[in-house]
Structure 1
Amino acid sequence: MPEPSTPEAVISMRGATATLGARAVLRGVDLTVHRGEVVALLGANGSGKSTAVRSAIGQVPLTGGTVELFGTPLRRFRAWSRVGYVPQRTTAAGGVPATIREVVSSGRLSRTKLGLPGRADRAAVDRAIELVGLSDRAKDSVNALSGGQHQRVLIARALASEPEVLIMDEPMAGVDLASQEILASTLREQVAGGATVLLVLHELGALEPLIDRAIVLRDGCVMHDGPPPEAVGQHALPGHDHVHPHAASEPVRTGLLT
């Protein structure tokens, strides 16, 4: 009987190194996300989480190592409609007057033929806005939104291209409870539909039930890659170290979440 094949590697980093200024931020990171997985990238502030995901999409150049997306080296990858990226919390329009629909529509450009949106494009934008609970405000200016609503617009923009992999950098940071619940519900629906997800998180929170695997970074190095570590009570305090199982006889120390 043939052995089951390993799912396709959607994101693959090997020996990744990167610097910001004169500081080494990634120190030989190996990171793989397979099709259909939901992977959390965890670690304290400054551990290299955001740099790792930004390197995966080419926003931060590597000084060493390799990145592949869907089996294609990053330098040759062009199918960006397959990738949805939500950056760390920022304003949805960068101060430029724009409506929610206009911002979300910009996420569809990678799929729009000849720059002219068709029926399928408009339907995808409507669906993305509906998913984040902002259909009744689609014509409102993003400058009138709360921080949590801005985050919902950014997620809708990423969803508009109907991506195969969704990369989200601290999607719950600084977001009100109502928006957290909507974002968690949106993500659950994407996962149920088979999406591959890489999440940078400070803590698992409401997203914990969705996580298949956790990768913990400390000082730019992978300290844990396996089942999500628990982070409750004192485990979540700054500087706390806890031993988590890595193999049957090999514990690994993970300076986890702050």
Structure 2
Amino acid sequence: MDSAPHDSTPAAVRLRCAQAAQGGRPVLRGIDLTVAPGEVVALLGANGSGKSTTIKTVIGSVPLTGGERELFGVPGQRFRDWHRIGYVPQRTTAAGGVPATVREVVATGRLAQHRLLPFRRKDRVAVDAALAAVGMLERAGDGVADLSGGQQQRVLIARALVGAPELLIMDEPMAGVDLASQQVLADTLREQVERGAAVLLVLHELGPLAPLIDRAVLLRDGLVVQDGPPAGSGHEHGHDGDHHQDHHHTEIRQGLLT
């Protein structure tokens, strides 16, 4: 169910028959997944279906045991331009137990562009812009440990955005987040898509992000079982095979409810 990019530009993400294991147990059993530049793709499915493992294979934190991975047309093992990717892990404390201010946490998102170079004025401007985008600029000097869960999630998103990534990957960014923060996330993602970024999300439900989703990919037992526009998105009309489409959207809706 691999969908090709819309033009000759290399896909931001391409997995071909990707297989992976964790703790010696097979988790992915042959995933095909493509995310084109400017495309928003949501990974859906029940707990244990392989959603988080899929994105961990994309960023290389879980190695493939079979299949292929490409980032921006470069084989995964040769990819080095990590500043092109912003990653928001599953919700944790943004400070990781280390005393840090909001600004300090977000500034670490610029490190991939520096190696050993000192921060410059444009880095400080980028940090302020990322904080403003998620509504946290006024809390820049506060300790991250003093923030609510939703505010900490905004900080992690700002850290991912600060390098103006071409690919934004988020693992359950809506989990346990208040409605106000969910709407901030939706508005922020809309701005990223408008500038041409690709987005890959793990979600349990689309919620306020529904209008932004181009494709919903439903996983089950480490395999892709459906891949297409989410039901009611307006993208699904004009295709042949109405019965298949109805079955497809039923599957996607079931994926959102698990």
TM-score by length of 2: 0.89
Task: Give runs of aligned pairs for residues 167-178 of structure 1, distance below 5 A.
Answer: 167-178=169-180
2:164 to 162, 165, 174: 162
Given that 1:10 and 1:165 are in contact with CA atoms closer than 8 Å, whether structure 2 keeps it comes out as yes
- 1:69 aligned partner: 71
Structure 2 residue 40 is matched with structure 1 residue 42: no
Give secondary structure in 2 for the equivalent of 1:206.
helix
Task: Give runs of aligned pairs for residues 119-158 of structure 1, distance below 5 A.
Answer: 119-158=121-160
Give secondary structure in 1 for the equivalent of 2:112.
coil
State the 1:112 CA deviation: 2.6
Q: Distance in 1 between matches of 2:29 and 2:106?
A: 36
Greater fraction of residues in strand: 1
Given that 1:13 and 1:30 are in contact with CA atoms closer than 8 Å, whether structure 2 keeps it comes out as yes
Deviations 1:66-93 (A, max 9, x none): 1110011111100000000000101111
2:97 to 95, 98, 113: 95
Amino acid at match of 1:8: P
Q: Distance in 2 between matches of 1:84 and 1:227?
A: 24
Given that 1:171 and 1:201 are in contact with CA atoms closer than 8 Å, whether structure 2 keeps it comes out as yes
Deviations 1:17-57 (A, max 9, x none): 11112322101000000111011111111110000001101
- 2:187 aligned partner: 185
Deviations 1:147-184 (A, max 9, x none): 00110000000001110110011100000111111111
Q: Distance in 2 between matches of 1:47 and 1:229?
A: 21
1:220 to 209, 219, 222: 222
Give secondary structure in 2 for the equivalent of 1:172.
coil
Give secondary structure in 2 for the equivalent of 1:110.
helix
- 1:108 aligned partner: 110
Amino acid at match of 1:160: V
Task: Give runs of aligned pairs for residues 4-83 of structure 1, distance below 5 A.
Answer: 5-83=7-85
Amino acid at match of 1:20: Q
- Is the alpha carbon distance of 1:113 and 1:52 closer, same or farther for their aligned partners in structure 2, counting shifts above 3 Å? closer
Amino acid at match of 1:256: G
Considering only aligned residues, what root-mean-square deviation do their CA atoms show, in Å? Answer: 1.9
State the 1:187 CA deviation: 1.1
Q: Distance in 2 between matches of 1:148 and 1:5?
A: 37
| Structure 2 unaligned blocks of 5 or more | 1-5
Deviations 1:191-214 (A, max 9, x none): 122211111110111000001111
State the 1:99 CA deviation: 0.2
Q: Distance in 2 between matches of 1:198 and 1:214?
A: 10
Q: Distance in 1 between matches of 2:184 and 2:7?
A: 35
Give secondary structure in 1 for the equivalent of 2:32.
strand
- 2:3 aligned partner: none
Q: Distance in 2 between matches of 1:41 and 1:6?
A: 24
Instruction: Pick which of 69-78 and 18-27 moved more.
Output: 18-27
Q: Distance in 1 between matches of 2:89 and 2:240?
A: 33
Q: Distance in 1 between matches of 2:174 and 2:192?
A: 16
Q: Distance in 1 between matches of 2:187 and 2:7?
A: 31
- Is the alpha carbon distance of 1:246 and 1:199 closer, same or farther for their aligned partners in structure 2, counting shifts above 3 Å? farther
Amino acid at match of 2:127: V
Give secondary structure in 1 for the equivalent of 2:217.
strand
Q: Distance in 2 between matches of 1:132 and 1:165?
A: 18
Q: Distance in 1 between matches of 2:48 and 2:102?
A: 32
| Structure 1 unaligned blocks of 5 or more | 232-244
List structure 1 segments (4+ residues) > 6 angstroms apart after TM superposition: none
Q: Distance in 2 between matches of 1:220 and 1:186?
A: 30
